């Protein structure tokens, strides 16, 4: 009896929406999500070997990264039924990861092999040397 009362009070504390989202549900849904994520991972691998322009490749990979993050957070971390604050927290996390990724790509793409060999490069003043 005490267990039933404790379970009932826990059910009330969680609220009906949250209890349903954490109850496990059908395994077929999770298998379908896993298959979709595997297909998306295959697309990411294809994009990296497809020979697309660098900008398009990065944009596609970042877009697929965001889609995968949202799906994993929503379903496997059960965020679709939790408080909105947790979704905002993970949203800020993906935004931070996106900003760091873009900053890293931007900083790495400004270097050329000539600037990476360690020899100092002459500073261009815009004037020709013969004048």
| pLDDT tens, residue by residue, 68-89 | 988 888 888 777 777 888 878 8
pLDDT tens, 6-35?
A: 444 444 444 444 444 455 557 888 899 999
Q: Is the pLDDT of residue 115 over 50?
A: yes
Q: Provide the pLDDT confidence category of residue 3 given band limits of 50, 70 and 90.
A: very low
pLDDT of residue 50: 92
pLDDT of residue 90: 79
> What is the rounded CA–CA span in Å between residue 83 and residue 111?
44
**For 115-126, what is the mean pLDDT?**
63
| 82, 21 Cβ separation under 8 angstroms | yes
Question: Cα 37 vs. chain centroid, distance in angstroms?
Answer: 12
Strands (E), 1-131: none
């Amino acid at each position: 009896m005490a267990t039933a009362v404790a379970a009932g009070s826990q059910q009330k504390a969680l609220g009906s929406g949250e209890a349903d989202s954490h109850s496990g549900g059908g395994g077929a849904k999770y298998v379908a999500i896993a298959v979709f994520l595997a297909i998306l991972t295959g697309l990411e691998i294809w994009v990296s070997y497809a020979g697309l322009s660098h900008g398009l490749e990065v944009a596609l990979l970042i877009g697929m990264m965001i889609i995968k993050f949202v799906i994993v957070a929503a379903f496997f971390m059960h965020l679709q039924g939790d408080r909105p604050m947790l979704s905002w927290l993970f949203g800020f996390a993906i935004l931070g990861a996106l900003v760091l990724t873009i900053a890293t790509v931007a900083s790495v793409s400004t270097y050329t092999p000539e600037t990476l060999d360690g020899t100092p490069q002459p500073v261009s003043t815009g004037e020709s040397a013969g004048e």
